[in-house]
Structure 1
Amino acid sequence: MTFERQRWFQIALQFRGSVIGTIYKRVLCCGLFGMFITLLYQLKVPVSQPILGSVIPSIVLGLLLVFRTNTAYERFWEGRKCWGSIVNNTRNLARQIWVSVEEVSPKDREDKIAVLNLLVAFAVATKLHLRGEPINSELEDLISTSRYFKLKSMNNPPLEVAFWIGDYLQQQYNRNCLNSYQLTSIQELLNNLVDNLGGCERILRTPMPLAYAIHLKQLLLLYCFLLPFQMVESLGWWTGVIVGLVSFTLFGIEAIGLEIENPFGYDANDLPLDAICQTMKRNIDDLTSLSPNVRSQDLGETSNVSV
């Protein structure tokens, strides 16, 4: 319990991952404006206007902020579900390919390992694609040199990797190393991977409506700059401090929405895509260390390794 209390305070006072660095200038601006209004009030300037509290009802602004934050979190959680599905479909694909595809020649084992590495390459290429980054050395150990340079010229690298996997499956079916039922089952899992890619792209390329974002920011500024006129008579020199605290709360909620609406970057609040891809690589390495005719119970345990 004592450790949990210490952890609670440690998180509460943590700067990394918070939105303080994003909003502190706005908070200071509002606090200083509150102090300026207090100074005018002390100089007998008639700045006290409590009636301004009815200009923007708190409940209206609160509902707008809640809607903004909920919408952003839905995007974050949808991205997490897409990547969870990528992990699960990759494990199931790897398991079925490793067990179902018959090895007629010694080279078939190498081809199977290569296509299993393509599954990891799909995840890594998807990560880079979502981050808007070019193909880099992360993929060099997962694919052949010719394919590596070919990916560099593609507009949608993960889609090309999915095509290579599908092409391998069709070749094995033509060689009678897969039957039609196995091919259909594995192709369905591959289709799910492509669907997950599309889901992530939808999140990335569907921004919040600009008019809504602009209007919310305008209301936040208007509300925070009207606060000193409402409070100065009752709070006096404390007006600047209280306005700063209120603006810290409101700007912080809005900044959290901005922070999590695109969960595919490098920020502390984004999804740990690098760790997820590394876990998938370890899962594939574990699977390829087993014999294809290993008992299904062992394979089931391998596929249940957590992210």
Structure 2
Amino acid sequence: MIVSDAPRLSRIVAEVWKPALALFIWDVIVTVVYFVLPFKAPSLPLTIFGSALALFLGFRVNSAYARWWEGRSLWGLMINASRNLARGAIAFIGPEDEGPKRDLKRSIALRHIAYVNALRCQLRRLDSKDDVHRFLSREEAGEPLGRTNVANGLLDGTGARIGEAQRRGWIDSIQQTSLESVLIDIANAQGGMERIKNTPLPVQYRFLPSLFTRLFCIVLPIGLVETLGIATPLGSGLAGLMFLAVLQIGEDLADPFANTVHDLPLTAMCRTIEIDLLQAIGDSAPEPLKPEKGVLW
């Protein structure tokens, strides 16, 4: 996610130079043809076309931003629920700093750190094996890594450990229910993220705006050349670039987990959970993730 007040100039140029160049070349061709082989430009209702297209693109951007913001809200819920899980496990299981109870509290905390990192990798379509092995032994990681949904396997293991604590008499049934309700919140958040990731915008929202925007950019210089004359490449190019920029904004926001500079900083949020849970069990924790060239990953 870009966190600087303004995008870097190099990033802006990298994103706009191709469509800007294509628009400029087309506008120059139309302008040259008009002056070499004069033609009567058809009376195109460009104002009506542009207004309708702007409304269409606005609906698309709003829908894409709603997905992006829902993803951020779900990760906010994940961070809060992670803290609640660690705090509840430590408080309910007991203050012992040695023995089986301490090992169980550490296991719950480390498994959950592995869980959020596995979920991050799944949403970004990355291999989660190395991230899971950073926090769990190969024996502990073997069963969940063998599942299709690694994150869900890790969450199931956390639930099993809480059930084990209840059977041993370390927590009572009310405390188990309280911790289980936190796991339900975590599972619901994961389900919401998977829904966003696996359900793209309807094809009409993806194909038609792209088609209409490009058609508008093609006819725009034809309708403006009589009015703008030699300035057509500049005026038409800037106007067309604005519509293409709005189109691209919708593309960038539609998948908040695509691992690009425009998406949610999942790595930074996983680091926040890692710091909180490691400090909760008394372990040393890494530093918060810092932006790189204005981008927080």
- Cα 1:285–1:224, aligned 2, differ >3 Å: closer, same or farther? same
Cα separation, partners in 2 of 1:194 and 1:180, compared to 1, 3 Å: same
How many Å separate the matches in 2 of 1:14 and 1:26?
16
Deviates more, 1:26-35 or 1:253-262: 26-35
Please show how residues 45-194 of structure 1 align to structure 2 within 5 Å.
Answer: 45-49=38-42, 51-54=43-46, 57-102=49-94, 106-194=99-187
Is 1:210 aligned to 2:168, yes or no? no
| Alignment-derived partner of residue 252 in structure 2 | 259
Task: Answer yes or no: is the 8 Å Cα contact 1:173–1:180 preserved in 2.
Answer: yes
Tell me, yes or no, if the aligned pair for 2:115 and 2:132 is still in contact at 8 Å.
no
Identity %: 27
Q: Which residue of 1 aligns with 2:292?
A: none
CA RMSD for the aligned pairs? 2.0
Deviation at 1:82, TM superposition (A): 0.7
Q: How far has the Cα of 1:268 moved from its partner?
A: 1.4
Moved over 4 A (4+): none
CA contact (8 A) 1:228 1:240 kept: yes
Helix, strand or coil: the match of 2:45?
helix
Aligned twin of 2:237: 244
AA in 1 matched with 2:49:
P
Q: How far apart in 1 are the matches of 2:144 and 2:40?
A: 64
**Aligned pairs for 1:5-84 within 5 A:** 11=6, 14-16=9-11, 18=12, 20-49=13-42, 51-54=43-46, 57-84=49-76
Moved more, 138-147 or 249-258: 138-147
Unpaired runs of 5+ residues, structure 1, are 1-6, 291-307
TM-score (norm 2): 0.88
> 1:114 touches 1:142 (CA, 8 Å); kept in 2?
no
Opposite residue 10 of structure 2, the aligned amino acid is F
* Number of residue pairs aligned between Structure 1 and Structure 2: 279
Unaligned stretches of 5+ in structure 2?
A: 284-297
Q: CA deviation at 1:12?
A: 5.9
TM-score normalized by the length of structure 1: 0.85
Distance change in 2, residues 1:163/1:143 (3 Å):
same
Of residues 222-231 and 54-63 in structure 1, the stretch that sits farther from structure 2 once superposed is 54-63
2:205 and 2:279 mapped to 1: Cα distance? Answer: 48
SS at match of 1:15: helix
User: What letter is aligned with 1:66?
Assistant: G
Q: Which amino acid aligns with 2:223?
A: Q
